[in-house]
Structure 1
Amino acid sequence: MRITQLLRYSLVAAVCITSSWKSSAQADEAPYDASRLEVTTLETGLKQPMELAVTSDGRIFYIEIQGQLKVFDPETHQSTLVGEVKVTTAQENGLIGLALDPNFDSNGWIYLQYSPPDYEGQHVSRFNLVDGKLDNSSEKLLLKYEEQRRDCCHHAGSLEFGPDGCLYIGTGDNTNPFGDSQGYAPIDEREGRYYFDAQATAGNTNDHNGKVLRIRPLPDGTAEIPEGNLFPADGSKGKPEVYVMGCRNPWRINIDQKTGYLYWGDVGPDAGGENERGPRGYDEVNQARQAGYFGWPYFIANNLPYNDVDFQTDKIGEKFNPAAPINESVNNTGARELPPANEAFIYYPGSGSDRFPELGSGGRTACAGPVYYYDAANPSETKFPPHFDRTLFIYEWSRHWIMAVHLTDDSKIDSIEPFMPNHRFVRPIDLQFGPDGALYMLEYGETWGVNDDAKLVRIDYVRGNRPPTAIAATENNTGTHPLAVKLSSAGSADKDGDKLTYLWRAFRAGDENATFTILSTEANPKVTFQEPGVFNVELKVTDSAGAEAVASVPVIVGNERPAVSFVTPQDGDFFDSTMKIHYQLKVNDLEDGTSDFEQADETGVAEIDLEAPRRTALNFSLGSGSIPKAGDDGASDSDPVGLQLMKKSDCFNCHSVDSVRVGPPFLKVAEKYRGQDNALEASMKRVREGSTGVWGKVPMLPHGQHSLDEIRTMVSWVYSLEADSAVRVFDGFVGDIQLTPEEVDKAGYVQLEANYRDLGAGDIPPLVGTSKIYLRKRTIEAEAADEIGGPQTLGGHKASGGNFLGAINHEQFARFQQIPLDNVGALTFRVTSAGAGGHIEARLDSLNGPVIAKVKVDVNGSWEDFHDVTAKIKRQTGRHDIYVVFINPQNRGGLMNLDCVTFEPPTE
């Protein structure tokens, strides 16, 4: 054995026997560099993923709420369905918890927490995996507990094993938080209001709900009560499975595998401010070093007490005492005297937190992730660095962030650091570290339901020299010759900060014997192509260590791309169920001529043949959500990952989804290859290496700048495309489109995309000119405003789009850009308020512009029960920005929630 190896093994031994191991482990590590954290998408197209677990060989098991258990194989880079359990998904139920046995490698046992359709409650069961599949007949029911399913909600759901072999189970308070509770403590003891009283569940020692339970699974498929739970094993003082009680919605739990401490995120109540009932809502991240009571529904945050409330008379009673809480509810079936309440480890409201300012403001859905320990002996080159040693990772489903909570040696908070603050995580829903020391994560996606952007990702810490990124772009890359083209390497970069060198070269496409012509060694040169032809222009960037990256762009010389525009309608116009959409297009093409007869007569330019079949097309389609904002043609976090990658690449220079440009429509590619054996791999090869003659004269350019994983994700997105029955194609320059009432109800907006394919020029292939406009629905979601000045976008079950503007204060605003007011007669605001109320003013073109509408928003005692208020406006002309301004100079905070704005048609 070499001396260096002996020293290395000696160091590893020292890790186990000396308290100075942490500094020793860091000795061979370079200083922490946040830019070395890299996100890799492993799988897309997930349907409401809930929890994941990573095996010792790197496989990733994960569950989807409708009952599916799947596994991602890092060797094949694909997910397969392992099995299913029958569940009900009513009231947020479903397959909600997953854990692998500590000895999974040898016994293949997997644990699921799920909602059987024939039992009003949850099952926690052990299953066997046989030949990689879930054996449903092997089910061993370890625990079942009842829940009511009449009213919403809070089922939590999370399974984790501790280092002592105990299984922890998160359960929610199963209490309706709405109605007369007004976002404060739901302690309604009136007859028939059991479902609105968390004293019956979270505050009840004799109930499994609103708890984190702890059992020890046994080899025979039963479970025992371990020592150290909150109540005795004989059940004399409470349910023996209870480890901690007083939880509202502990839907993400984790166990520190070194200390055994339990962490969980508890989703808090909705009250936006303090009043006589008690404190505003807070979310919590809690730490339990031992069994205990954590306050709900009597206390929140650092034991801020609620007041006792008589819901029959609305009389406000005394504050509850955290040192000696008493449960006197008629719905309590357990002990009257509860244990002293523990304060939250971390807590924060919807607005900014003075105690934890790093957490920001916005919606609240707290989650607790794993605690990471750096292992110098782990040979993985992508493990997290010593910087994160002894760090708890917490995350926010609503705020899209992850925080690194650095812990002291006795597991107290040392500091809180934003983790990858420049990367927007799309509703992280579970985090786990793998045996490689990398962080694995499920992202739920943008909305409450099924999302195209739900995905499984891995976050690595990459050491060593990293290759540069090459991005090539052009201006004026099509046209007649001679053609002056501006080449751009903007965006090309080296993550290590190395100096880059650039090489631009071109070759004539379709010529197998073509040689490269060096164009330039400048970063952003201007070059002129003197002869007609189709050219591939390649950019190679090289860092100081010799690592290279390549990107390509097409240049087509000898044919000008046609210009297409809409005469009518105009971008941003309204559409209604009662009107036809009359469209008229205008096309100018240097070679073909113009569709404008008057222009042709005046200039002598040729007239385009209006009868030319299938050269002009208008694609009509319906979009969900709000009309895209300016610039949204670029990559969006709400797009599927494959589409994001394609928008950042050069794919849409040559392709569109459903119409011909230079290359075939992606829909045609999907229809041709989807379902064929080895088609995915063949398409990936063509994308990476390029190809010629498959679809036409213009070749597919090579895309060596992308990794195989990125190309697989992009091609998989193309293969996922299906022809949508809502897409209709109209021929010709002029026409009418009649919308059905069903289409209007379904649509968030209408997209019109006009395409004209020219005749080409000799050997130069035809080019397609495109123009796209959006027609807006009269009802616009408040959170989709073009500018939001102050209010926060929050989630709500009763909001029309699943979100609304909340946390609204005096003189804050939302701006809606370029509204066609000549077609508006009134404004309707969908509002609710359990706060101060006030007025909404609609101002023209600026915050200080003239007020064209004003409505009063009364307090209706709810943050969820939206209703409409309407104000007529005087007839206006033209397009204007509308500033919706919130007014209450007397009570300046917590005014109201705004769900949407409807621009009503004129009644005259």
Structure 2
Amino acid sequence: MLLKSISAFFLLLSCSLALHAQTNKKPEDNRFTKVVLAQRLEEPMQFQVLKDGRVIFAQRHGKLEVYDPVTGKVNLVAKFPVSTQYVSKTGEVSEGEDGLQGVILDPDFEKNHWIYVYYSPAGTEAKNVLERYVWHGKELLMDSKKVLLDVVVQREQCCHVGGGMLFDKDKNLFLSTGDNTFSRASDGFTPLDERPGKSGEDSQKGSSNTNDLRGKILRIHPEQDGTYSIPKGNLFPQGTPLTRPEIYTMGNRNPWRLTIDSKTGWLYWGEVGPDGSRDDMEKRGPQSYDEFNIAKKPGNYGWPYFIGNNKAYRDYNFDTKVSGEFFDPANTKNESPNNTGMKNLPAAIPAMVWYGKGISTEFPLLGSGSNSAVGGPIYRLGDFKDAKRPYPAYYEGKWFITDFARGWINVIELDENGEYKSMERFLPDIKLNGALDMKFGPEGDLYAIEYGNGYFKNNPEAELIRIEYNGGNRKPQVQASASKTAGATPLKVTLSSEGTRDFDEGDQLKYEWKVTRNGAAYKTFNQSTPALTLISPGTYKATLTVTDQTGAKNSKSLEIKAGNEPPKVNLAVLSGNKSFFFPGKSIKYAVSVNDAEDGSLLNKKISPSQVSVSANYLSEGFNLTDVAQKQISTDVTAQFAGAMAMINKSDCNICHAKETKSLGPAFVEIAKKYKGDVMAPSNLIKKIINGGSGVWGHTMMPAHPTMTENDAKTITSYILSMAYPPRSAKTLPAQGSFTTVVPEGENTDGSFIIRAAYTDRSANGIAGQMTEKVLVLRSPQLSVADAEQVKDVNFNGDKTIATTSATGSFLKFNNVDLTSVKQIEIIALRGRTPIPPQAKIEVRSGSPEGKLLGTFTVEANEQARIKTILSEATGIVDLYFIFSNAPIRIRQIRLSDME
């Protein structure tokens, strides 16, 4: 009996452990789905999710709105008259960060219907206010207003408002406030300008002032009558001279979204740093760092004397430009004439996580470029009882964070003492556009509000989203295609479900194709790959629905036009290299067009004038021509498609717009300023990579240390091109020759795009169909990243450098056209490990043992350009570069038609 009991116990224990291991396993990314709830919002700032799924959110220009999941609509709750501009002493008006900043519901909202807002009221009085109203679900009851708190500010210079709000379990309200300081006049370092009339540029008036509410996280307890009391345990006991008892943390610059761990009660937030991208320890101190912070108790977080993990600034006299000593985090004094509080301050607390513009050595997963730490929620499964879609236990106690500029979501794992353990990326394929708030809703979903790209404007990508987790059965992922999507009748078509998959292994899938003609039912197939013949002309729609064994289904449709055969267009190179261009050389080409209904160029039923043939040079290079091919035209869109793609992927459009001023100048204004300046391209490339300030006022240009010089050159060329009319593509005849002349001043590492297109006449009621043929002739160089096969070769992070690791290492490039190629040049780099003497590189065709075309000898341990003359190199071959006496570091391989 005892043996049975012990056996049963261990069986139960093993099952429990197995269940625990399963529930704590990291979930697959495909179990999460991004759902867009509302789009084209107007500068959204902060939100809260109600128990019934509604989402109330604040927009900077004063609108308080609510999203209703039942109707899918957004309705206006209230419109507050707000101040959003600053007026300098000289009368200059500028847009700033002020406005409607935050909204939160009372913990007892279901009973008292109280709602709190924090905003900058319109009028001459410079202040931000915390107010309470009654809201029963429609319009706000404006006559129910209770003013809880005024935060006195200055409205002569931007920036930093804060506005994050939350309640703890004791119903205390936390409110974050910014330092209300113009820091761009401080060269990216700390603003400590103590000169008369410069208090707006001295953060010591607020953040390090114990008697001021700015640059703080406040904690108060709202009372029934619209006043508030002070909870016990704030930073300064009530009645302490020269202090404000509302202060929970001080030494904040611009604390963003607050969160409290429901288990520990600890407070977390993101903290935005200044704009500097370089250290200047001789004069000023460290570069800028953004922070993610934790407060287990009240404290001083160091600004403006310290940043990051208590990296100290120097005392600096803005009048004499003389530097003083470094500040001491254990013994900090606020001796500014703008200070109205205590002189001696509490010891500074370092940040948990800190990161600058470049790659962080401590936290490399945070990336590089512009940064703006936002924060996010701590996940506790116990907060979501009876929720429909709670996140798995894998995320228990972890902190979800985001960054306004970089768009990622990362998850920080903490130990039981609240110390940093590790970090991982959450859903790498999702990039948020200017996230300003992120929190979990009552059903367990992660919500985020996205401000969009660019400051102080209504961005088209501004939206409210949620990311749902599906811990059970997942819908099939459907792909639908057809062997032909247009053609003359009778049109034989094979429909295909290739690519359809179900992430739940073992699910039996049922396929159903429904075909309609001009909207009416036509045929139905219960198979994955049916064949059909379309007899009558018309527009057909084929919809594939895939259902798994539980009934979960998903669909995808495609359109087929029967009755008009698309034309056949061919573009042939008659002489010269078919893969690369060599500057100044002529290329003979010929275009042929055949159309079943219209005839052909050959029988002259199609006129050459009806065929569009053009050539264009794209300075962006070969790797981006896949973008260009989709939008070839005669305007700047095609010429700079690659640059536009780079800008959209980077943080450029956060601070710049094409034609309107944002935080930084418009691209058009930059182009006008530097028109005709021969030094502008090189200077702007350096500025993009290294950062800078002073040209457009005090606004700092953040550094982009990981951007390659070629990418910066591509972006610069696009911006400077705006000072000139768009360059038209050269129109060509249907047959002739074309000389590859690179336009003056352009990057020679680009590509020539030759395009031939013909749109046929309509037939049988089906509109004309266009077919095009595009030929890409790229610059005669091979990037090591383009090697289709490698052996014993390692790459750096962005695959711009290949390092061989053993004799016999090789790089293989498929289908390289060697027509007219006489010479190959390799750029070898000096590395930490010396290049062995007499290291050799062989060029062979076909295989590693194939025909020897040339040999390189690396003579010295330094960067070197090594050349070899090719022997008997013709036609299209698979090209092998075989290395002996490793290691050798290779950056570039260039082909030449000259010996």
TM-score, normalization by structure 1: 0.63
Q: How far off its partner does 1:114 sit? A: 0.3
Cα distance change of structure 1 residues 546 and 168 upon mapping to structure 2, 3 Å threshold:
closer
For each residue in 1:523-580, what CA deviation from the matched residue of structure 2 results, as whole angstroms up to 9, or x when unmatched?
xx77665664543333343446564433332222222357999xxxxxxxxxxxxxxx
1:478 aligns with 2:486: yes
Deviates more, 1:415-424 or 1:318-327: 415-424
Cα distance change of structure 1 residues 324 and 248 upon mapping to structure 2, 3 Å threshold:
same
What is the match of residue 91 of structure 2?
none
For each residue in 1:129-177, what CA deviation from the matched residue of structure 2 results, as whole angstroms up to 9, or x when unmatched?
1453211111111000111111121112211111111111111111111
What is the match of residue 466 of structure 1?
474
The CA distance in 2 between the partners of 1:168 and 1:476, in whole Å, is 62
In the alignment, which of 559, 574, 579 is matched to residue 554 of structure 1?
Answer: 559
8 Å CA contact 2:627, 2:642 repeated in 1: no
The residue correspondences of 1:678-693 to structure 2 (distance < 5 A) are none
What is the match of residue 448 of structure 2?
441
Query: SS state of the match for residue 205, structure 1?
Result: coil
The CA distance in 1 between the partners of 2:657 and 2:210, in whole Å, is 32
The residue correspondences of 1:711-726 to structure 2 (distance < 5 A) are none
Given residue 340 of structure 1, which amino acid in structure 2 is its aligned partner? A
Cα distance change of structure 1 residues 328 and 804 upon mapping to structure 2, 3 Å threshold:
closer
Cα distance change of structure 1 residues 785 and 168 upon mapping to structure 2, 3 Å threshold:
same
8 Å CA contact 1:25, 1:386 repeated in 2: no
The residue correspondences of 1:425-574 to structure 2 (distance < 5 A) are 425-448=432-455, 449-474=457-482, 476-485=484-493, 487-498=495-506, 503=511, 505=513, 507=515, 509-510=517-518, 514-516=522-524, 521-522=528-529, 529=534, 532-543=537-548, 547-561=552-566
For each residue in 1:630-656, what CA deviation from the matched residue of structure 2 results, as whole angstroms up to 9, or x when unmatched?
66699xxxxxxxxxxxxxxxxxxxxxx
Given residue 274 of structure 1, which amino acid in structure 2 is its aligned partner? D
What is the match of residue 394 of structure 2?
387
Q: How far off its partner does 1:306 sit? A: 0.5
In the alignment, which of 23, 27, 32 is matched to residue 33 of structure 1?
Answer: 27
Q: How far off its partner does 1:517 sit? A: 5.5
Deviates more, 1:50-59 or 1:792-801: 792-801
Query: SS state of the match for residue 142, structure 1?
Result: strand
In the alignment, which of 635, 645, 665 is matched to residue 775 of structure 1?
Answer: 635
Given residue 132 of structure 1, which amino acid in structure 2 is its aligned partner? K
Query: SS state of the match for residue 387, structure 1?
Result: helix
Q: How far off its partner does 1:370 sit? A: 1.8
Q: How far off its partner does 1:487 sit? A: 4.0
The residue correspondences of 1:541-690 to structure 2 (distance < 5 A) are 541-543=546-548, 547-561=552-566, 590=595, 593=598, 603-605=603-605
1:410 aligns with 2:417: yes
What is the match of residue 115 of structure 1?
120
Cα distance change of structure 1 residues 804 and 826 upon mapping to structure 2, 3 Å threshold:
farther
8 Å CA contact 1:45, 1:455 repeated in 2: yes
Q: How far off its partner does 1:501 sit? A: 5.2
The residue correspondences of 1:883-902 to structure 2 (distance < 5 A) are none
1:134 aligns with 2:128: no
Cα distance change of structure 1 residues 52 and 590 upon mapping to structure 2, 3 Å threshold:
same
Cα distance change of structure 1 residues 23 and 184 upon mapping to structure 2, 3 Å threshold:
farther
Cα distance change of structure 1 residues 145 and 496 upon mapping to structure 2, 3 Å threshold:
same
Query: SS state of the match for residue 633, structure 2?
Result: strand
Query: SS state of the match for residue 204, structure 2?
Result: helix
Given residue 84 of structure 1, which amino acid in structure 2 is its aligned partner? K
Cα distance change of structure 1 residues 297 and 515 upon mapping to structure 2, 3 Å threshold:
closer
Cα distance change of structure 1 residues 498 and 454 upon mapping to structure 2, 3 Å threshold:
farther
Deviates more, 1:61-70 or 1:378-387: 378-387
The CA distance in 2 between the partners of 1:306 and 1:445, in whole Å, is 33
What is the match of residue 318 of structure 1?
325
1:203 aligns with 2:208: yes
Q: How far off its partner does 1:827 sit? A: 7.3
For each residue in 1:290-346, what CA deviation from the matched residue of structure 2 results, as whole angstroms up to 9, or x when unmatched?
111110010011111111112222212111000010111122222111111011121
Cα distance change of structure 1 residues 25 and 337 upon mapping to structure 2, 3 Å threshold:
farther
The CA distance in 1 between the partners of 2:506 and 2:679, in whole Å, is 56
Q: How many percent identity over aligned positions?
A: 34
Q: How far off its partner does 1:468 sit? A: 0.3
8 Å CA contact 1:381, 1:463 repeated in 2: no
Q: How far off its partner does 1:285 sit? A: 1.0
8 Å CA contact 1:541, 1:548 repeated in 2: yes
8 Å CA contact 2:77, 2:138 repeated in 1: yes
What is the match of residue 315 of structure 2?
308
1:71 aligns with 2:71: no
Query: SS state of the match for residue 371, structure 1?
Result: coil
1:47 aligns with 2:52: no
8 Å CA contact 1:593, 1:607 repeated in 2: no
What is the match of residue 77 of structure 2?
82
The CA distance in 2 between the partners of 1:779 and 1:558, in whole Å, is 36
What is the match of residue 3 of structure 1?
none
8 Å CA contact 1:170, 1:211 repeated in 2: yes
What is the match of residue 178 of structure 2?
172
Query: SS state of the match for residue 402, structure 2?
Result: strand
Query: SS state of the match for residue 381, structure 2?
Result: coil
8 Å CA contact 1:246, 1:297 repeated in 2: yes
1:244 aligns with 2:249: yes
| Structure 2: stretches of 5+ with no match in the other structure | 1-15, 86-95, 571-590, 612-622, 666-674, 694-707, 725-738, 751-799, 801-828, 830-899
The CA distance in 2 between the partners of 1:798 and 1:470, in whole Å, is 37
Cα distance change of structure 1 residues 781 and 347 upon mapping to structure 2, 3 Å threshold:
farther
Q: How far off its partner does 1:83 sit? A: 1.2
The CA distance in 2 between the partners of 1:432 and 1:377, in whole Å, is 13
8 Å CA contact 2:625, 2:642 repeated in 1: no
Given residue 57 of structure 2, which amino acid in structure 1 is its aligned partner? Y
Q: How far off its partner does 1:794 sit? A: 8.1
In the alignment, which of 271, 274, 289 is matched to residue 296 of structure 2?
Answer: 289
8 Å CA contact 2:487, 2:565 repeated in 1: yes
The CA distance in 1 between the partners of 2:503 and 2:263, in whole Å, is 34
8 Å CA contact 1:250, 1:264 repeated in 2: yes
8 Å CA contact 1:182, 1:271 repeated in 2: yes
Q: How far off its partner does 1:798 sit? A: 10
Given residue 418 of structure 1, which amino acid in structure 2 is its aligned partner? R
The residue correspondences of 1:792-807 to structure 2 (distance < 5 A) are 793=652, 795-796=654-655
Count of residue pairs the alignment pairs up: 645
| Structure 1: stretches of 5+ with no match in the other structure | 1-21, 566-585, 611-615, 617-627, 635-769, 807-822, 839-845, 856-865, 890-908
8 Å CA contact 1:500, 1:543 repeated in 2: yes
Given residue 253 of structure 1, which amino acid in structure 2 is its aligned partner? L
The CA distance in 1 between the partners of 2:643 and 2:194, in whole Å, is 36
8 Å CA contact 2:476, 2:500 repeated in 1: yes
Cα distance change of structure 1 residues 869 and 289 upon mapping to structure 2, 3 Å threshold:
farther
What is the match of residue 162 of structure 1?
168
The CA distance in 2 between the partners of 1:589 and 1:869, in whole Å, is 42
In the alignment, which of 358, 366, 376 is matched to residue 369 of structure 1?
Answer: 376
Cα distance change of structure 1 residues 74 and 785 upon mapping to structure 2, 3 Å threshold:
closer
Q: Give the alignment's Cα RMSD to 1 decimal.
A: 4.5
1:192 aligns with 2:197: yes
Cα distance change of structure 1 residues 527 and 546 upon mapping to structure 2, 3 Å threshold:
same
Given residue 54 of structure 2, which amino acid in structure 1 is its aligned partner? R
Whichever of the two has the greater Rg, that structure is 2
The CA distance in 2 between the partners of 1:122 and 1:28, in whole Å, is 49
8 Å CA contact 1:84, 1:134 repeated in 2: no
Cα distance change of structure 1 residues 477 and 305 upon mapping to structure 2, 3 Å threshold:
same
